[in-house]
Amino acid sequence: MNEFFHMGGYAFYVWTSYGLALIILLWNVILPRQRQKQLLARLKRKFRQSPPQGNNQ
């Protein structure tokens, strides 16, 4: 088991690569969700502030 984690002397590079890949994958999930929430909040504020548009007949 120790040899598995040691990776034949390349453990630092291998585990660093796995760590960076995990961070990037999480970033690709979390960032769009945050931006979506920000956009929805901005749109809600915009529609609350704008006066209702009535029929101009």
For the stretch 12-40, pLDDT in tens is 999 999 999 999 999 999 999 999 999 99
**Of 51 and 20, the one with more pLDDT:** 20
Residue 53 has pLDDT above 80, yes or no: no
Q: For residues 7 and 15, give the distance between their C-alpha atoms in angstroms, rounded to a whole number.
A: 9
Give the pLDDT score at 2.
85
pTM confidence score? 0.64
* Three-point CA angle 26, 32, 35, nearest 5°: 130
More confident residue, 8 or 30: 30
